[in-house]
Amino acid sequence: MRRHAPQGDIAAGGAVTSHFATAQRGAVLVIDDDADQQDLLRVQLSAEGYAVTTADSAEDGLAAIAARAPDVVILDVMMRGIDGYEACRRIRASPATLDLPVVLVTALNSREERVNGIEAGADDFLSKPVSREELLARVNSLVRLSFARKALAQERLQVEKSRTEHMRATFERYVAPALVQQILGSADAGSALMQTRRVDNVVAMFADLRGFTRMCSRLDVAAAVGILNGFFTQVVDIAKFYEGTTLGMAGDSLLVGFNVPLRQPDAVERAVLCAREMLARVAPMQAHWRRIHAVDVGVGVGMSRGSAIFGNVGAPSHMAYTLIGDAVNVAARLTQLARGGEILLSAEIAAHAPGLMRELRVEEMPPVSLKGKDRPVPCFRLADAGGQDLGIRAAALAARQAGSGAAP
């Protein structure tokens, strides 16, 4: 295979500059085992500013295309070894060169030969002896087509990249980066996972600042917002560590869902460990707020497990990505009952992870009356809710490794 630069592209010292880097009008590959025909085409195309590469066989030409595709291929039909028809079929068989413009050059003018060329995937034809005007007209047209296709492909790639980045930024508002990768790596880029649907075995958890309303009446806006932002920053980071999905912030309360949008067989364990660590990590902040602002606020947590509707809910002009359903309602009611530093669990939570409940010393409480329930509901209290020990992160990592990451 020989490479030739267009006129004026000879570097100082006589070296030929790579045509792929310098071509302004386009790069043309001529595949022909006739050296005289090669030279004729090269000279005529180079004179018009095209960067021309030549190959002496179809095998060499296909190798050159695989290394870096030109803008147009001029391919002789009658060659030793692989002929032009077969070479054209191989070009069309590769997804990378499916749209690469190919001109077949033949000494045969029969209708049958042209039909064979069309069936092989040729875009155009030249008959020998090749007319300079016809050669340039066909190459000029196909180079423009090649440039247009490449520009369109680049535009589509940019659109897809922008779409992916937008989806990534959207998902990262709600879920941990590791889950974002799984969602975007799915066949439908997560669109099926994010559709509004009913999901079973969801764990809904609320974390709420106790005493915040009273505190707001005593502090200026900047101080109150600073406390609230510090609280949300801490608890959202912890929720993402445990791969919970952040589904809403209302006033001084955070809603986190587990087992959505991806399946988490250990959702209860994740939620309980997450809540426990939230209380442990917020405790030093509470001491700081007490010292600086002379206010006493705590964190109460409630959680439940069950069925819920998951997805975008709201008006066309304002949608919220959230959970609604009985599990969410029970968790919200338990959070209202929880005192600062307390985690209240529904019976479904306690029943689903008995081993963890024993390890963390869960206490059964008298049944409580909850809004929307006809009869008192059993609930449980995590006795050492705020305990901070060195096993928290190790247990969390083990819980994370146990998840399968499939859609529920």
- Asked if residue 152 belongs to a domain, the reply is yes
Q: Are residues 6 and 47 in the same domain?
A: yes
Q: Are residues 301 and 349 in the same domain?
A: yes
Q: Are residues 138 and 178 in the same domain?
A: no
Q: Are residues 242 and 125 in the same domain?
A: no
- Asked if residue 168 belongs to a domain, the reply is no
Q: Are residues 254 and 109 in the same domain?
A: no
CATH number, domain containing residue 8 = 3.40.50.2300
Q: Are residues 380 and 251 in the same domain?
A: yes
- Asked if residue 162 belongs to a domain, the reply is no
Q: Which domain holds residue 93?
A: 2-156
- Asked if residue 312 belongs to a domain, the reply is yes
- Asked if residue 187 belongs to a domain, the reply is yes
- Asked if residue 166 belongs to a domain, the reply is no
Task: Domain count for the chain, please give it.
Answer: 2
Q: Are residues 356 and 305 in the same domain?
A: yes
Q: Are residues 23 and 101 in the same domain?
A: yes
CATH number, domain containing residue 243 = 3.30.70.1230
- Tens of pLDDT along the chain (408 residues) come to 555 444 434 333 332 233 343 446 899 999 999 999 999 999 999 999 999 999 999 999 999 999 999 999 999 998 989 999 999 999 999 999 999 999 999 876 677 788 888 899 999 998 888 999 999 999 999 999 888 888 888 888 888 777 767 766 666 666 666 666 666 666 555 555 567 888 899 999 999 998 888 888 889 999 999 999 999 999 999 998 998 988 888 888 999 999 988 889 999 999 999 999 999 999 999 999 999 998 888 899 999 999 999 877 777 777 677 889 999 999 999 999 999 899 999 999 999 988 888 888 889 999 888 888 888 999 999 866 655 453 545 455 555 555 444 555
Q: Give the 3-state DSSP-derived string for the chain, with helices as H, strands as E and coil as C.
A: CEEECCCCCECCCCCECCHHHHCCCCEEEEECCCHHHHHHHHHHHHHCCCEEEEECCHHHHHHHHHHCCCCEEEEECCCCCCCHHHHHHHHHHCHHHCCCCEEEEECCCCHHHHHHHHHHCCCEEEECCCCHHHHHHHHHHHHHHHHHHHHHHHHHHHHHHHHHHHHHHHHHCCCCHHHHHHHHCCCCCCCCCCCCEEEEEEEEEEEEEECHHHHHCCCCHHHHHHHHHHHHHHHHHHHHHCCCEEEEEECCEEEEEECCCCCCCCHHHHHHHHHHHHHHHHHHHHHHHHHHHCCCCEEEEEEEEEEEEEEEEEECCEEEEEEECHHHHHHHHHHHHCCCCEEEEEHHHHHHCHHHHHHCCEEEEEEECCCCCCCCEEEEEECCCCCCCCHHHHHHHHHHHHCCCCCC
Chosen domain end from 156, 181, 197: 156
Q: Are residues 221 and 142 in the same domain?
A: no
- Asked if residue 191 belongs to a domain, the reply is yes
Chosen domain end from 100, 121, 156: 156
Q: Are residues 137 and 29 in the same domain?
A: yes
- Asked if residue 164 belongs to a domain, the reply is no
Q: Are residues 339 and 200 in the same domain?
A: yes
Q: What is the pLDDT of residues 106-149, one digit of tens each?
A: 876 677 788 888 899 999 998 888 999 999 999 999 999 888 88
Q: Are residues 187 and 332 in the same domain?
A: yes
Chosen domain end from 156, 191, 217: 156
